Chain A
Amino acid sequence: MAGAGVADTAHRNGHVGSDEAHADSGGADRGPSLLGRAARGVARQVTSRIPRADLDERDPDFIRERLPLMWLASSLWYRAEVRGLGNIPDDGPVLMVGNHSGGNMTPDTVVFTLAFNTYFGVERPFYQLAHNLVLSMPGLGSLRRFGTVAASPANARKALQAGAALLVYPGGDYEVHRPFWQRNRVDFDGRKGFIRLALQENVPIVPVVSIGGHETALFLTRGEGLARLLMLDRLFRLKVLPISLSLPWGLNVGDMLGHLPLPAKITVETLPPIDLKAEFGPDPDVEEIYDHLIRLMQDTLDALAEERRLPVIG
């Protein structure tokens, strides 16, 4: 569940036009090659499959019925530990900001979604922003019933204005596919849209820091060059084509079919809410908040890394 570069690249959900225009200009020198046409066809397919954000698609009964399965995965497979959920305000809109790990299987999302839903009850509206590709993937349609909506500033604003709790991973696909040796690094790639969103909507930010998710496979490289070469950035808003060693594939390029995550121990720590206007003044500086947040989350991640003795085992 990647992706939440909330503000800057504003076009998505149904905004087919601009994406296609880019693709056309990029492929112009190559002429209407068969490959180019096929790629554009796939891109159109994907874009048409991206669901329009409809907050009503979230289904509390559906979520409740899936809690036991998630509990089994979280408790037995990942031996998860979630701390400090009491830091999240009991009601009202809140923007939860997490670091993102584990490739396309994103185990920390499973762990946190379960923990949030049992702690506050499925009755509390809770949405997660995800990359377009995640939501248009065949077979992942049920994610929308969990409250997953396509990452866009408009969708995020809609959820917060409805008074919901919203989980974003600003690092998105960039962070989730970072190499293994950067596993204990918070890397949002400078994306700050979520801060502007929190300021505009006047909601507190709750940092959610997790460790262990990036030990579920051996992530080698993001493959940014490869993604550019194949024009994936223009066609699918995908800046990476990650390469990893993972089960059951061995060498795994793209991670499009997912993989079997190793049973790494996952620890999630929820930090106290940050009231941006109270802490950074009436006219806060976005850069300053960003730096503060990254430092805070990195310090927490370092502390969690200190607790760990061995990768995977925990």
Chain B
Amino acid sequence: MRATAATTVSAPIETVWAVVADPERALSFMSGVTRWEIEGEERVGLGARYRMLLRVGSAEIGGLIEIVEWDPPKELAWTSITGVDQRGRWRLRSVAPGRTTAEIRLAASVPGSGIAGWVAERIAQPIVGSHLRHTVQQLTRLVEHERMREQAAARRSARGAAAGTELAG
């Protein structure tokens, strides 16, 4: 089974990267994810390990994963250590100043599971696909909302500073 979803976010690539690469924020925007915990010493970067679960149908599926590609702020990939075989990837690209495309891919399978495995993958595919679609939607909302608040805060402090200089003048 392989699913993918992509979106364009109105934010610089570094801002988007800061969200997707942060293990503590996974639960807040990744749809269907019920667990995403740091396992071991490394928090981020190559070799960092997380214990994750994704709700698919009646089960929470996942296990221990490890970051195997780490190229900030563009590429992040993981594979499973335990649980069903799994590969995932975040692929970020800057398309224009302040515009970033974000794509998430997830592949999972159970080798040796025969016809039942084939059928289960066909049925799980749209479920995982919809989780990924919601994930990129929520990522967009989260990043753009945070960016708006940051810009508003910057304007406020700029106004405050201007008022301050006026008073001083």
Contact = CB atoms under 8 A, between A and B. Distances in A.
A296 interface: no
Contact of B58 (A64, A69, A86, A114): A114
A74 B60 CA distance: 12
Interface in B110-130: 110-114, 116-117, 119-121, 123-124
Interface of B: 35, 53, 56-64, 82-84, 110-114, 116-117, 119-121, 123-124
Q: Is the interface of A mostly helix, strand, loop or mixed?
A: helix
Contacts, number: 76
B71 to A, nearest CB: 29
B49 to A, nearest CB: 13
B116 A74 contact: no
B59 A71 contact: yes
A65 B63 CA distance: 16
A75 B59 contact: yes
Contact of B59 (A61, A118, A122): A118
A118 B83 contact: yes
B113 A65 contact: yes
B142 to A, nearest CB: 24
Contacts of B82: 121, 123
A71 B60 CA distance: 10
Contact of B120 (A68, A79, A86): A68
Interface residues on A, range: 20 to 34
Interface string A224-241: 000000000000000000
Nearest to A115: B59
A143 interface: no
A90 to B, nearest CB: 9
A34 B6 CA distance: 75
B125 to A, nearest CB: 13
B83 A72 contact: no
A81 interface: yes
B63 A85 contact: no
Interface in A92-145: 111, 114-115, 118-119, 121-123
A69 B116 contact: yes
A67 B63 contact: no
A111 B121 CA distance: 18
